[in-house]
Structure 1
Amino acid sequence: MRRFKRTLVAVAVAVTVVSGTAGWVTGNAQVAVTGAPPGAAAWRAEGLPDPVTSGPGQVARFFAGLSEARRTDLARRHPAVVGNLDGAPVALRYAANSRSLKADGRLALAAPGRQILAFDPRGRGQIAEVYGDLGAAEHVAVVVPGSDIDAGTFDRKSDVYGTPAGMAGALHRATGRRAAVIAWAGYTTPVGVGVDAASGALAEAGAVRLGRLADGLDATGSPDPVVFCHSYGSVVCGLAAPRLDASDVVVLGSPGMRVSSVDELDTRARVWAAKDPDDWISKVPHVEFAGLGHGADPAEPSFGARRVPAEDAQGHTGYFAPGTESLRTFAAIAEGEL
């Protein structure tokens, strides 16, 4: 009974402590954005591949059979579908999303030179951006962020290295711009502190989307990515791991991956973990009870992950800061040098 009470207390603490990158406030319940992108009904009405039931491989084969003029026409008339369709040609998605962003009034994200791989305005907004040449790069990385991230906080000016844009940009530069890096805010994240952050519901929906992203990279000829998972994003990666087509999974500032060891992830990917000494995530009890809490600490030796040195990173969002040993190691992993 005493052990049971301790577990209940630990879970209560987890509910009040777990957050992602910015919010020490009471969390609001979020509804995961899932299903077909906006405009799917008109797309389906033309007999085009169903965005939900057609896998990225099928999508890639469909577009491969079209003329350039037909592809351009579909992107012009159905930008919200083409822009979010894993397996569609990357350059076509950039063009479609630029059109959607301009129509939505998000002109900064539609600025010339930005390569927006996905944009879904539903809910708080989901977005993915590519740094580098995704079509030609020999190495690809994906950054999966934690809580409090959406289209509005994707590249905020404060706490830069706690944003997907800041993390991905830093990693891209650290590889000498040789690796293509995707800043992927493609799922509904928790807001602040609350049950959403302590449960796996939003992560489960995100895991499906992350798996489809990786399948889309494979379908369009990109190499298997290295996936970097920050904070609550590591819960997403843990749930996605069994079906995630990735060479490496790197978690940082993780509250847990909903398993007790690397073996339980059931993945062929190499698994790495980083946690700096002053990251507040260390205060989160690594337990899981009644669906709350995310389990063992991936940075503990007993978990079985490879260690990423992070002694000179600062706080919960300092892992990608320029000059840190963690960023140098991330870059080496991304380039296949480790």
Structure 2
Amino acid sequence: MVAVVAPLSAAARPEIPAPSPATLPELTATTLDRTYAANTANAAEAARMAAAHGDTHRAEADREMAAPGRHLLTFDGRGPGRATEVFGDLARADHVAVLVPGSDTSLDTYDRFRAAAALQRQLTGTAPHGTRTAVVAWLGYRTPDTVSTTVLTTDRADEAAPHLRAFIRRLQGVVGRPTTVSLVCHSYGTVVCARAASHLDIDALALVGSPGTGADTAAALHTPARIWAARGKDDWVGEVPHVRTDLFGVTVGFGTDPVSPAFGAHVFAAGEGGHSDYFSPGSASLTNLARIVLGDTAEVTRA
């Protein structure tokens, strides 16, 4: 039997007005500062428009995005919103991690997605002296709601995958030097990364809290990247049936559990944490993710 989660009925939230995304220069190391400035100005204008509309929650979220010291590669305040934020010195990084979020992530919930900041701090504290790192938080797609039918299919991931591929290509144009790139994917974000993987030139792919990827095995992702997977002991996603079946003409579920031997990933320790704890400071999962990004694979503790 396959469990189907039905969407909750609720009044639709009125569309929040926001400016169109800023017109940006071609993304290179020399245009990063102009890109950051243009997106900061756009986020500030989005905050003013949301406030005038009476949406104080979104206005505050947009203001935080526009705060001094934030580095936005992209920003779109329309609808649920999309943004890409950089932590660290992207242009000079030796190792870059791109963090892809799961369901229920939007500008309204962006603060909890700033786990990228914790990962960058861990990298800074772990990397050998003189090694530069950067983390990019990529909210570049419309994530599904956790309580919905969309979270049970690959539809949103299929829509997102071309955008992720295009972003990784632009990112590699920025660094323009020998740099490792790792994808760190959480929850439904692991489905997105799996759909994009075969077209990406990346060094590592880390799947945490994954409901499955839509592929039966790691080899079926057709990527030269080393594939890692982990799940915390208290993560509820472990109770989700790892099946894929047709239901009324729609393929539901994501198949093989990525931490199972049948999938074939390198499984690493994630400790006792739950579904939202993979980036908690001091956790086994965060420590191991930093080691994976830095290429210190011999130091990764296995589950």
TM-score by length of 1: 0.73
Q: Which residue of 1 aligns with 2:301?
A: none
What letter is aligned with 1:221?
V
Q: Which residue of 2 aligns with 1:198?
A: 152
Asked if residue 94 in structure 1 is aligned to residue 36 in structure 2, the reply is yes
Instruction: Give the 3 Å change call, closer, same or farther, for CA 192–86 of structure 1 in structure 2.
Output: farther
Q: Which residue of 1 aligns with 2:255?
A: 295
Instruction: Give the 3 Å change call, closer, same or farther, for CA 227–124 of structure 1 in structure 2.
Output: same
Cα deviation, 1:142-184, whole Å, max 9, x if unaligned, reads: 11010000111111xxxxxxx321x211110001264200111
Does the CA-based 8 Å contact 2:93-2:175 persist in structure 1?
no
Cα deviation, 1:274-312, whole Å, max 9, x if unaligned, reads: 011221001111111121111111111111101110123
Does the CA-based 8 Å contact 2:256-2:262 persist in structure 1?
no
Cα deviation, 1:103-131, whole Å, max 9, x if unaligned, reads: 11122211111001111123210111111
Does the CA-based 8 Å contact 1:218-1:224 persist in structure 2?
no
What letter is aligned with 1:293?
G
Shift of 1:26: 3.0
Asked if residue 259 in structure 1 is aligned to residue 215 in structure 2, the reply is yes
Does the CA-based 8 Å contact 2:164-2:196 persist in structure 1?
yes
- 2:23 paired residue among 47, 67, 81: 81
Does the CA-based 8 Å contact 2:90-2:175 persist in structure 1?
no
Does the CA-based 8 Å contact 2:229-2:267 persist in structure 1?
yes
Matches within 5 A, 1:1-338: 9-10=1-2, 13=3, 15-16=4-5, 26=8, 80-82=22-24, 89-105=31-47, 106-155=62-111, 163-165=112-114, 167-176=115-124, 178-222=132-176, 223-290=179-246, 291-312=251-272, 314-338=273-297
What letter is aligned with 1:168?
A
- Alignment RMSD, CA only? 2.1
C-alpha separation between the residues in 1 aligned to 2:145 and 2:230? 23
When the two structures are aligned, how many residues end up with a matched partner?
263
Shift of 1:27: 8.1
Cα deviation, 1:18-44, whole Å, max 9, x if unaligned, reads: xxxxxxx7388x9xxxxxxx75xxxxx
Does the CA-based 8 Å contact 1:247-1:269 persist in structure 2?
yes
Shift of 1:224: 4.0
Unaligned runs of at least 5 residues, structure 1: 1-8, 18-24, 31-37, 40-78, 156-162
C-alpha separation between the residues in 1 aligned to 2:9 and 2:182? 30
What letter is aligned with 1:243?
H
Does the CA-based 8 Å contact 1:27-1:195 persist in structure 2?
no
What letter is aligned with 1:207?
A
Does the CA-based 8 Å contact 1:143-1:164 persist in structure 2?
no
TM-score by length of 2: 0.82
C-alpha separation between the residues in 2 aligned to 1:300 and 1:212? 31
Cα deviation, 1:255-288, whole Å, max 9, x if unaligned, reads: 0111000110000111000011221001111111
C-alpha separation between the residues in 1 aligned to 2:203 and 2:87? 19
Does the CA-based 8 Å contact 2:99-2:116 persist in structure 1?
yes
Unaligned runs of at least 5 residues, structure 2: 13-18, 48-61, 126-131, 298-303
Which of the pair has the greater relative contact order for Cα pairs under 8 Å at 6+ separation?
1
What letter is aligned with 2:69?
G
Identity of aligned residues (%): 40
What letter is aligned with 2:5?
T
SS for the counterpart of 1:292 is strand
C-alpha separation between the residues in 2 aligned to 1:99 and 1:261? 44
1 or 2, which has the higher strand percentage? Answer: 2
